[in-house]
Structure 1
Amino acid sequence: MAERPDFTVLTPYARSLGIELAEWEDDVPVMRVEFVEAVEGRPEHFHGGATGGLLETAGYAALRAELARLDRDAVLKPINITVQYLAAGKSQASFAKGRVTKLGRRSANLTVEAWQDDRSRPIATAVMNVFMAEAEG
């Protein structure tokens, strides 16, 4: 099996929110963000954009992990992301995990779920479509 991707180095946006790798679950990364001022919207609640950023980061992390498992390298470019907000994120850590639902030669489809203390009650979900360009080099 190929080496796992290094998720200690994330995008500047993900770093600005404080998103980090929480754990590996079934060879898929679970991402976490603590409730801090950078993610607060209305008092004591996550901002929707921060929740969307967590979902997007977890989706890309799941795709990168699957590509690494297959020993594939690609430049990822978003086609679209649709977020469904299901419940307000409260002032506690949030987690997200993505799943690759279809992996083609040039595109991938993903689903992502975000939750807080109860995984069976997600606060948001997302569907992502990603274009995969050949990596140069």
Structure 2
Amino acid sequence: IVGNPMLPAIHGGVLGAFMEMTALAQLSVAAPMKRQPRTIDVSIEYLRSGRPQTTYARAIIKKLGRRIANVHVEAWQETRSAPIASLRGLFLVAPSED
């Protein structure tokens, strides 16, 4: 998971996937659905280097509509007040009519 062994720092793709999965898990817990929510769009802000150590993330559902959910995720390592990255994502929570 280390992207830059010289620092060392967690690879940004790994951190982004971790936060996206956190958002999807929070949606699944908050509103059980027949199908897993699908990612529409995510925006990730990398705030500081993540070291190869235990990383935590928390997702907050800002808006849960009939079709779309807006979720915000923050990831941190040692203290929650110093996040290493944040994600804002839109997720499809209801399948389109086929």
Deviations 1:33-71 (A, max 9, x none): xxxxxx110012100001101110101011111013xxx
Instruction: Say whether residues 1:90 and 2:90 are aligned partners.
Output: no
Instruction: Say whether residues 1:42 and 2:13 are aligned partners.
Output: no
Retained in 1: the 8 A contact 2:55–2:77? yes
Match of 2:84 in 1: 123
- Paired residues in the alignment total 93
**What is the letter of the counterpart of residue 41 of structure 1?**
G
Retained in 1: the 8 A contact 2:27–2:37? no
TM-score by length of 2: 0.89
How many Å separate the matches in 2 of 1:75 and 1:45?
31
Structure 1, unaligned stretches of length 5 or more?
A: 1-38
TM-score by length of 1: 0.64
How many Å separate the matches in 2 of 1:75 and 1:119?
28
Which SS does the other structure have where 1:81 is aligned?
strand
The CA RMSD measured in Å over matched residues stands at: 1.2
Deviating above 3 A after TM superposition, structure 1's stretches of 4 or more consecutive aligned residues are 72-75
Structure with the bigger RCO (C-alpha within 8 Å, sep 6+) is 2
Deviates more, 1:73-82 or 1:50-59: 73-82
1:77 Cα deviation (Å)? Answer: 1.5
How many Å separate the matches in 2 of 1:73 and 1:122?
33
Structure 2, unaligned stretches of length 5 or more?
A: none
